[in-house]
A = this chain, B = another copy of it.
Amino acid sequence: MDQLRPDLVPHPAVRRLSLYLRQLELFRRKDRRTVSSKQLGQSLSFTDAQVRKDLAYFGQFGHPGVGYRVDDLIARVRHILGTDKIWSVLLVGAGNLGRALMAYNGFDAKGFRLVAVFDADPAKIGKRQGPFPGSTPADKRSFVIQPLSQLKETTEKQGIRLAILAVPADAAQEVADRLVEAGIRGILNFAPVSLNVPHEIALNAVDLAVQLEQLSFLANFSALSRPA
């Protein structure tokens, strides 16, 4: 696995790997010990062959006649995805979405920890956000909003490698540049713009409008293309 050449792996396969992990964790919560490619596939509407092929890109994890041991496969997939270690993550943008992300407490279980929050607005800088209602008693985290000028220092000091970008569209590219400059290795962009970053920086985007437009397109025609 450590000799894995990730550029030989189909991108869609990596995406599905995350979904397999999510389902496996669900199976484990239900105390399932093993799962077959068929069962795992069905739970996600993929074929069994797809599941086996995807997993086989990364190694031989299964047991013929038995399936995959749930615990074991979870550990393997986490290792492949790199989430068997904890990633420190920073957030830029303490607006509405930013606050929702600060309040979200599903990060830790997935191997991510939000450790710093930045914003350009002087009115917000230095203010403390949180702790948030609904967070577990053990997890009364809160964040002091930092100015962008501290991006590099904080990133280096805290060994942060991933960033979530939740700023207005017209600020996004500039912030992205500064993130790269600060040494960030991957950016999750929620701003509705296409960012330019050096090719060695991992980039992922979530655009609400794009998502809704897909639905709009499909929903317009679902009546027609219904077979039954």
Q: How far is the CA of A217 from the CA of B12 in the complex (A)?
A: 13
Q: Which residues of B contact A26 (CB under 8 A)?
A: 193
Assess A83 versus B186: contact at CB under 8 Å? Given A22-B193, A207-B22, A221-B6: no
Q: Which residues of B contact A106 (CB under 8 A)?
A: 192, 208-209
Q: Which of A60-68, A97-105, A151-159 lies at the interface with chain B?
A: A97-105
Question: Do B225 and A6 touch across chains, with their CB atoms under 8 A apart?
Answer: yes
Q: Which residues of B contact A207 (CB under 8 A)?
A: 18, 22
Question: Do A111 and B216 touch across chains, with their CB atoms under 8 A apart?
Answer: yes
* A131 interface residue per 8 A CB criterion: no
Assess A214 versus B206: contact at CB under 8 Å? Given A22-B192, A99-B100, A194-B43: no
Question: Do A219 and B82 touch across chains, with their CB atoms under 8 A apart?
Answer: yes
* A179 interface residue per 8 A CB criterion: no
- Contacting residues of chain A (165-223) with chain B, CB-CB under 8 angstroms: 185-188, 192-194, 200-202, 204, 206-223
* A81 interface residue per 8 A CB criterion: yes
* A110 interface residue per 8 A CB criterion: yes
* A49 interface residue per 8 A CB criterion: no
Smallest distance from the beta carbon of A155 to chain B beta carbons, Å?
13
Q: How far is the CA of A200 from the CA of B4 in the complex (A)?
A: 39
Contact with B along A42-54 (1 / 0, CB 8 A): 0111000000000
Question: Do B96 and A103 touch across chains, with their CB atoms under 8 A apart?
Answer: yes
Q: How far is the CA of A143 from the CA of B192 in the complex (A)?
A: 25
Q: How far is the CA of A210 from the CA of B217 in the complex (A)?
A: 24
Question: Do B192 and A215 touch across chains, with their CB atoms under 8 A apart?
Answer: no
The listed residue (B110, B202, B226) touching A218 by CB distance below 8 A is B202
Q: Which residue of B lies closest to A98 (CB)?
A: B100
Assess A214 versus B82: contact at CB under 8 Å? Given A100-B100, A222-B200: no
Ranked 5 nearest A-B pairs via Cβ: A186-B215, A202-B218, A96-B100, A186-B219, A185-B219
Known: A87-B216, A99-B100. 5 other contacts (CB 8 A): A7-B221, A83-B216, A101-B208, A112-B209, A188-B215
